[in-house]
Amino acid sequence: MTRIYNFSAGPSMLPEAVLRRAGEEILEWGESGMSVMEMSHRGRHFGAIAEKTEADLRELLAIPPEYKVLFLQGGATAQFAMVPMNLLRDRTSACYVDTGIWSGKAIEEASRYCQVVVAATARAGGFTTVPARDEWRIDPEAAYLHYTANETINGVEFQDVPESGGLPLVCDMSSNILSRPVDVERFGLIYAGAQKNMGPAGITVVIVREDLIGKTIPGTPTVFDYRKHADNGSMLNTPPTYIWYLVGLVLEWLKREGGVAAMNARNIRKAEKLYAAIDASSFYSNPIDPAFRSRMNVPFRLADASLEKTFAAEAAAQGLEALEGHRSIGGLRASIYNAMPEAGVDALIAFMADFERRYG
Ligand SMILES: *Cc1c(COP(=O)(O)O)cnc(C)c1O
């Protein structure tokens, strides 16, 4: 068996140690006599797994006690609706910063429930930057300010937490949660699908300040009510137990590796060397404002775009998989989340140099 380097944007690579552990425990977890997959979500064994997972996440992100941590279904896409349904309360508008394809989808969904005020948009420049903070127009009457910390498709990432003008700050952290330190107290709500940086697809983490929840818009389905999930320990209905457990294994791995600070240092090194390789050659290019280049998703193009298919195919043949860009924007993209080893980035850089020698 040869494991490849998988540059997929999500579902994405998992740490090998996590997969091995899951393999070892596939028939029996602890002394339970059964697989985690077979356990009742309400039984003591799974209860211990769920508790440990939340405790580890709280520790890794230093989540204060006044925040609830929820494990939900429906992906970040469900959050595009749940956020306005739960956080609008008595307000009729919400502010959104538009920095790419994922913020666009969040805006489109929120528009079904409220008046969306686009505080700033980077559309005119083709979503290659974050609009300057002094150009944002924040509606003081809005219920919250939403932004996408890392635009997974466009490759644009906020490098700090923006000021929200007093509004609760809501953030889609699907593709960079746990990749760098974050001050949770600055936020009203953070959400993130697991399949980029936390585990397999099928679970979504919501971290929400408790005083913001408990009043939904009329007609909100029960399974879309944060309060109901919070009151039931995220077990309002049957949760995706096995995915929850795998997220727990990823968090244990993260702690062993040195936590978010260690990931941050490693991610900076990985991204810097990949961008340096792209910038050093006129054969490759990255269109993003260097101040907002993503450390997680690195889109790049070849000067001769007709070679891009060949690039992706030859890379895949050498064990560097899934380098095609998102179907909506084309080009190439390397997703280099926490679980991508530095050696994987080194291998990609070596391949790029070799490909340029042969085709440049
Ligand atoms: C992947 C992704 C989503 C969508 O996640 P789903 O689980 O497919 O709903 C939303 N936002 C960002 C930033 C993403 O990377």
What predicted TM-score, i.e. pTM, was given to this entire model?
A: 0.98
Question: In Å, how far are 30, 82, 169, 176 from 166, measured between CA atoms?
Answer: 48, 21, 8, 24
Backbone angles phi, psi at 155, to 5 degrees: 85, 35
| pLDDT attached to residue 240 | 98
Count of other CB atoms within 10 angstroms of residue 213: 23
Q: For a substitution probing ligand 1, which of 71, 174, 190, 296 has the most ligand atoms within 8 Å of its CB?
A: 174
75 close to ligand 1 (CB < 6 Angstrom): yes
Catalytic residue selected from 68, 196, 244, 270: 196
3-state secondary structure 213-244: CCCCCCCCCHHHCHHHHHHCCCCCCCCCHHHH
pLDDT along the chain (360 residues), means of 10: 94 97 98 98 98 98 98 98 97 98 98 98 97 95 98 98 96 98 98 98 98 97 98 98 98 98 98 98 97 98 96 98 93 98 98 97
Residue 287 buriedness (CB in 10 A; 0-12 / 13-18 / 19+):
middle
N-to-C CA span, the chain: 33
* Residues 247, 66, 203: CA angle, nearest 5 degrees: 20
CATH number, span 16-256: 3.40.640.10
| pLDDT attached to residue 238 | 98
Reference 158, options 102, 74, 94; nearest CA is: 102
The residue with tokens 């380097």 is 5
Catalytic residue selected from 29, 56, 98, 102: 102
**Quick one: which atom of ligand 1 is closest to the CA of 102?**
11
8 close to ligand 1 (CB < 6 Angstrom): no
Q: How far apart are CA 244 and CA 68, in angstroms?
A: 16
| pLDDT attached to residue 12 | 97
**Quick one: which atom of ligand 1 is closest to the CA of 173?**
13
Delimit the domains of the chain by residue range: 16-256, 260-359
Please say if 196 is a catalytic residue. yes
| pLDDT attached to residue 318 | 97
Asked if residue 297 lies in contact with residue 150, where contact means CB atoms within 8 angstroms, the answer is yes
Find the length of the chain. Answer: 360
| pLDDT attached to residue 342 | 97
The residue whose C-alpha atom lies closest to atom 13 belonging to ligand 1 is 174
148 close to ligand 1 (CB < 6 Angstrom): yes
User: CB-based contacts of 339: which residues, under 8 Å, 6+ apart?
Assistant: 12, 13, 14, 15, 197, 250
152 close to ligand 1 (CB < 6 Angstrom): yes
| pLDDT attached to residue 1 | 80
| pLDDT attached to residue 2 | 87
Q: Helices (H), strands (E): how many in the chain?
A: 9, 14
> Within the chain, where are the H helices?
16-24, 44-61, 75-87, 101-110, 226-231, 241-256, 259-279, 308-317, 342-359
Q: How far is the CA of 357 from the centre of ligand 1 (A)?
A: 36
Q: Which residues are annotated as a binding site for pyridoxal 5'-phosphate?
A: 76-77, 102, 152, 172, 195, 237-238
CATH number, span 260-359: 3.90.1150.10
